[in-house]
C-alpha cells in the first residue's frame, strides 16, 4: 500500500535522521560483448566483476539478448538486474550540449540501478532499462580534449566574470545524465577513471551527481580540483517514498561532507554541489524543505574550522512528459507520485515536445523560497540556476 504524497504533513518529519547506506548493486546477470573485452578497460572491469563472483556471459556477436519479459514490469525487473559491458557506439563521441548543468554531456554508462519513481530516464532510454557501461571509456575521455575550449550556447551560470561566455574558463563535462555514476562505481571503476583524467587537465572540468554515498574509493584520487562532486537530494519524505535503492538522505549528506572535507581532515577536498531535485509542491512543502535546508546547514557546517567550503547549488522543479508518465506508470503502477497534468501547465520545447511543469505562480513562489532560504544559510555558495 502506498501513502499519497498529498497526505504527507509536517508531523511526519522524522526527529531522527535515517542513516542507511545504499545497498551495493549486484546484478544477477553480467554480459560482456566480445568487442568490450578487447578493450584494456573492459578487461579491468572483467577482473572487478570476476573478483565479486558474479556470473559472467560473453555475447560473441556483440548483441545483448534475453532482456524482454512477458510484460513491461517483467522486462523492467530483468533489465534492472542486468549489467551489460559494451563499447560506446560512434555517436557517443559526438558530444551534446547539456544546459544548464554543463557545457557537454559525456556518458560513461546508460541505465541506472536505482528505482526512482519519477526517473528522468523513463522515455529517454531506447529499449529495456538495462545498465550499459562503456568499456572504451578511456577513448571517450581522450576525445573530450577536442571539446576543451568550446562552449555551446549555455548562457546561464557559465559566464566569465566579465559576463562573456567562452574562451577563458574551463569547459565543463557532465557524466551523470543517463546513469548514477557512483551507483555502479564498485563494478566499473569508471568514475575514478574520469576523475583521474580530468585531474590532468587544466581546460576541462568534470561534473557528476549521485544519490549514493559510497565515496571512500574517491577520496584519495588526484582530482586537482577539476571535478565537482554533487549530490542529489530532496525532502526526506520524498526520498523515503520515491527513491528506491538509493542511500538515505542523511547518508548522502554524510557522503558529500566527506568529499568536501580537506584532505588533511580525512576528506577528499573536492569542490562540491548540492542538487535539490525534483522539487515538489507537496502539502506543507515549506516545512519539508526548511527541514532539509536546516539539515544541510548542520552537516556542512565545518567551514570555520576547515577553511572555505567550495560549494554551489542547483534547483530543479519536478516535470514530466506524456511519454515519461506512460513509461513510469508501467514501471511503478502503484506510485503515489502526482503526475496529474491538470495541476500543471504545458511547456513546449524547440523540437515541439511537451512537458508539464508547475503553474507560473506556484513556480515563482517556490523559486523565491529556495533562493531566499538558501542564501540566508549559505551566503558564499552561489545558486547556479532554478529550472
The C-alpha angle 58, 135, 39, rounded to 5 degrees, equals 80
Q: Which is nearer to ligand SF4, 120 or 385 (CB)?
A: 120
Quote the distance between the C-alpha of residue 42 and its chain's center: 23
Q: Which is nearer to ligand SF4, 201 or 211 (CB)?
A: 211
Quote the distance between the C-alpha of residue 354 and its chain's center: 23
Q: Which is nearer to ligand SF4, 59 or 116 (CB)?
A: 116
- The secondary structure of residue 309, as a DSSP letter, is -
Which of 15, 13, 16, 19 lies closest to 254 in space, CA to CA?
19
In whole angstroms, how close is the CB of 118 to ligand SF4 at the nearest point? Answer: 7
- The secondary structure of residue 320, as a DSSP letter, is B
Angstrom distance (rounded) from CA 167 to CA 150: 7
In whole angstroms, how close is the CB of 86 to ligand SF4 at the nearest point? Answer: 18
In whole angstroms, how close is the CB of 144 to ligand SF4 at the nearest point? Answer: 22
Confirm if 268 and 262 have CB atoms less than 8 A apart: no
**Grid cell digits, residue 254:** 554524510
In whole angstroms, how close is the CB of 213 to ligand SF4 at the nearest point? Answer: 13
Angstrom distance (rounded) from CA 285 to CA 192: 37
Q: Which is nearer to ligand SF4, 116 or 191 (CB)?
A: 116
Angstrom distance (rounded) from CA 122 to CA 99: 19
Residues 6+ apart with CB under 8 A from 346: 354, 355, 356
Which of 174, 52, 185 lies closest to 112 in space, CA to CA?
185
Q: Which is nearer to ligand SF4, 83 or 112 (CB)?
A: 112
Interface ranges with ligand SF4 (CB under 6 A): 112, 114-116, 119-121, 180, 211
DSSP states along 280-296? ---TTHHHHHHHHHHHH
3-state secondary structure of 241: helix
In whole angstroms, how close is the CB of 244 to ligand SF4 at the nearest point? Answer: 8
In whole angstroms, how close is the CB of 112 to ligand SF4 at the nearest point? Answer: 3
Q: Which is nearer to ligand SF4, 115 or 196 (CB)?
A: 115
Residues 6+ apart with CB under 8 A from 53: none
Q: Which is nearer to ligand SF4, 124 or 375 (CB)?
A: 124
Confirm if 59 and 86 have CB atoms less than 8 A apart: no
In whole angstroms, how close is the CB of 145 to ligand SF4 at the nearest point? Answer: 27
In whole angstroms, how close is the CB of 45 to ligand SF4 at the nearest point? Answer: 20
Q: Which is nearer to ligand SF4, 20 or 196 (CB)?
A: 20
**Grid cell digits, residue 176:** 551523470
Amino acid at each position: 500500500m502506498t501513502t499519497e504524497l498529498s497526505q504527507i504533513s509536517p508531523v511526519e518529519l522524522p526527529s531522527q535522521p535515517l542513516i542507511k547506506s545504499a545497498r551495493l548493486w549486484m546484478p544477477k546477470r553480467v554480459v560482456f560483448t566480445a568487442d568490450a573485452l578487447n578493450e584494456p578497460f573492459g578487461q579491468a572491469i572483467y577482473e572487478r566483476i570476476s573478483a565479486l563472483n558474479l556470473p559472467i556471459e560473453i555475447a560473441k556477436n556483440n548483441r545483448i539478448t534475453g532482456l524482454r519479459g512477458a510484460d513491461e514490469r517483467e522486462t523492467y525487473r530483468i533489465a534492472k538486474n542486468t549489467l551489460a559491458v559494451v563499447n560506446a557506439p560512434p555517436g557517443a563521441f559526438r558530444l551534446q550540449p547539456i544546459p544548464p548543468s554543463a557545457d557537454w554531456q559525456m556518458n560513461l554508462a546508460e541505465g541506472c540501478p536505482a528505482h526512482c519513481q519519477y526517473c528522468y530516464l523513463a522515455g529517454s532510454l531506447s529499449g529495456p532499462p538495462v545498465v550499459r557501461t562503456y568499456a572504451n571509456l578511456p577513448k571517450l575521455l581522450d576525445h573530450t580534449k577536442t571539446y576543451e575550449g568550446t562552449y555551446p550556447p549555455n548562457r546561464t551560470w557559465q559566464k566569465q566574470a566579465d559576463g562573456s561566455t567562452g574562451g577563458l574558463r574551463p569547459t565543463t563535462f557532465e557524466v551523470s545524465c543517463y546513469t548514477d555514476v557512483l551507483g555502479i562505481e564498485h563494478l566499473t571503476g569508471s568514475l575514478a577513471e574520469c576523475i583521474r583524467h580530468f585531474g590532468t587537465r587544466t581546460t576541462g572540468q568534470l561534473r557528476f551527481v549521485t544519490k549514493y554515498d559510497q565515496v571512500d574509493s574517491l577520496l584519495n584520487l588526484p582530482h586537482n580540483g577539476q571535478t565537482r562532486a554533487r549530490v542529489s537530494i530532496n525532502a526526506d519524505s520524498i526520498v523515503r517514498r520515491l527513491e528506491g535503492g538509493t542511500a538515505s538522505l542523511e547518508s548522502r549528506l554524510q557522503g558529500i561532507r566527506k568529499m568536501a572535507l580537506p584532505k588533511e581532515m580525512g576528506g577528499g577536498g573536492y569542490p562540491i554541489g548540492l542538487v535539490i531535485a525534483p522539487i515538489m509542491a507537496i502539502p506543507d512543502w515549506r516545512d519539508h524543505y526548511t527541514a532539509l535546508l536546516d539539515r544541510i546547514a548542520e552537516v556542512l557546517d565545518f567551514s570555520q574550522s576547515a577553511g572555505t567550503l567550495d560549494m554551489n547549488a542547483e534547483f530543479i522543479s519536478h516535470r514530466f512528459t506524456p511519454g515519461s508518465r506512460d513509461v513510469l506508470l508501467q514501471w511503478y503502477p502503484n506510485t503515489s507520485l502526482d503526475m496529474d497534468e491538470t495541476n500543471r501547465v504545458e511547456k513546449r520545447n524547440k523540437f515541439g515536445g511537451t512537458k508539464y511543469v508547475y503553474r507560473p505562480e506556484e513556480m515563482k513562489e517556490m523559486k523565491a523560497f529556495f533562493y531566499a532560504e538558501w542564501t540566508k544559510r549559505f551566503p558564499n555558495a552561489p545558486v547556479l540556476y532554478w529550472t
